[in-house]
Amino acid sequence: MPFKTGPLNNTLKTGYFGIQKQGSLNWEIVSLVQNATIPDSLRHIPIGQMIDPAKIGNNGYNYFISPYYLNGYKGKSITNAAYVMLDNRLAEKLRLVWGVRAEYYKYTEQRNDLNIKGTSLFSLPPENKWRWLPSANLTYSPTKQINLRAAFSNAVIRPELMDNSKFFRYDPMFDGLFGNEGLASTQIKNYDFKAEWFPGLGEIISASAFYKKFDKPVEITYSLSNGIGFYYIKNSDEAKVYGLEFELRKNLGFISSYALLSRLTLYGNLTLQTADVVGTYKTKGPDGNDIMVSSKAKRNMYGQAPYLLNAGLQYLDEHFGFNIAYNKSGRKTTLVSPELNNIEYENPRAQIDAQVSYKFYKNKFEVKVNAGNLLNKASVIFKNTASYEANPDHIAGTSDYSTRFRLKPGFTNNLDDGDQIMFSQKFGRTYSTSITYNF
């Protein structure tokens, strides 16, 4: 709804959003067991041979369904949200877009069976049914080509239904048992300041600083219990992320009047970021009993890298075009753990993609040739098993759990000699061709 304050135009918007979800899953866990009369020659063979039909029977292996295992999940959730937004022209060069979103969320667990023996750490955390999510974006434009912007916003990420299932299953990616302890919603507060310049059509040069505060961020976590490693989805207590971001997209025609340069465009994006994460974990105390400890680590969150770099060069004329893009991210956290020597990372990996195109027949007929992952660098997942040693200053059960281990002199969190490589794979180069005709 438009309205005016003097000569300045303003806008009021409001709206509603609602969604209901319901999910269910039934499963049976089938174990492969040895019969008592199995010969020694079959006891220690690969699982691929165990399931050979010729080896299934009274003198080999059999499939077994335990009567203990319960096998069902059912849940539902409802979300209702309404918002009010105002777009105010405070002055000719000053614009404020602000508002609030009120969100109601309710999750109902209707059935949630436990499929492992013993006790479970699973517990649904308390959830605020109502959340008020304000936001504001203030933009000052000293010229038509320059914006100075300060922004604040709130967001909530809800767990999906099956994320809160007690179902504990084998995950072939981790080669271990994978489950969760009960997830709460994650609320994110974003603050950023950005300066941007638009020197020409489709061009931008910008720099920004940002700060994000996460309440109960979700991470995939590894923990040891009785010598056995378990993988689970878990809320950390909180996290803070600080960063800088730079963006460039500029035609090179400003260098000289040479026609070739006016057809070339340079583009890129660089993000630098760091984080502090606080989590609470279960471990053994000095007396051997389970205790809950806090870990305050200066580390990247799950899935986060300290830097992200994208750069490319594009050429385009009436018929011919090409684009080459370079992408690289820093050491990405792929699995977190209260023990710093059990955190897993993906080694930095660069990638180059390219595309060549040509238009025929009055530009109605176009052929594109694409080449992806030309460097074909391996994705290497590792953990710093050789880089850490026990910290003699750590007091079990009393001090910050993240100080239990410390880096050895001369070692880093990068892939050093002696560190354990958990996974390594080359994904291969890809080539494709597309043909388009526009009538």
> Quick check: 401 and 281 in contact, CB under 8 A?
yes
Contacts of 20 (CB under 8 A, 6+ apart): 76, 77, 78, 79
Contacts of 81 (CB under 8 A, 6+ apart): 16, 17, 18, 101, 102, 103, 104
Phi–psi pair at 41, nearest 5 degrees: -65, -15
Distance CA 9, CA 5 (A): 7
> Quick check: 246 and 209 in contact, CB under 8 A?
no
Residue 47 lies in a domain: yes
Residue 43 lies in a domain: yes
> Quick check: 171 and 178 in contact, CB under 8 A?
yes
Extended beta strands in 113-254, E state? 130-143, 146-157, 169-171, 176-180, 186-197, 204-215, 218-225, 228-235, 238-251
Residue 164 lies in a domain: no
Question: In the block, which residue shows the tokens 């009369």?
Answer: 37
Quickly list DSSP for 62-130. EEEE-SS---EEEEEEEEEEEEEEEEEEEETTEEEEEEEEEEEEEEEEEEE---SSS-----PPP--SE
Helix/strand/coil for 436: strand
Cβ neighbour number for residue 358 with a 10 Å cutoff: 13
Question: In the block, which residue shows the tokens 């040693």?
Answer: 389
Domain count, the chain: 1
- The token pair that represents 283 in the structure block: 């471990």
> Quick check: 141 and 119 in contact, CB under 8 A?
no
Residue 49 lies in a domain: yes
Residue 423 lies in a domain: no
- The token pair that represents 402 in the structure block: 């993240």
pTM: 0.82
CA 204 to centroid of chain Cα atoms: 27
Helix/strand/coil for 201: coil
Distance CA 67, CA 44 (A): 27
> Quick check: 346 and 332 in contact, CB under 8 A?
yes
Residue 291 lies in a domain: no
pLDDT score of 175: 76
Distance CA 424, CA 71 (A): 35
Residue 59 lies in a domain: yes
pLDDT of the chain, 439 residues: tens digit per residue:
776 666 667 788 999 999 999 988 887 777 788 888 888 888 888 877 888 888 888 778 888 877 666 678 888 999 999 999 988 888 889 999 999 999 999 988 888 877 666 556 677 788 889 999 999 999 999 999 999 999 999 999 998 888 888 877 777 777 777 888 788 999 999 999 999 999 988 899 999 999 999 999 999 988 766 556 778 888 899 999 999 999 999 999 888 888 888 899 999 999 999 999 988 877 666 666 666 777 888 888 999 999 999 999 999 988 899 999 999 999 999 999 888 888 999 999 999 999 999 988 887 888 999 999 999 999 999 999 899 998 888 877 666 788 888 899 989 899 988 899 998 999 999 999 999 888 8
> Quick check: 427 and 373 in contact, CB under 8 A?
yes
Contacts of 87 (CB under 8 A, 6+ apart): 10, 11, 12, 13, 95, 96, 97
Residue 56 lies in a domain: yes
> Quick check: 312 and 337 in contact, CB under 8 A?
no
pLDDT score of 127: 84
Pairing mode of beta strands 186-197, 204-215:
antiparallel
Domain of residue 47 covers 30-65
pLDDT score of 207: 97
Read off the DSSP letter of residue 255: S
Cβ neighbour number for residue 199 with a 10 Å cutoff: 13
Question: In the block, which residue shows the tokens 């135009």?
Answer: 9
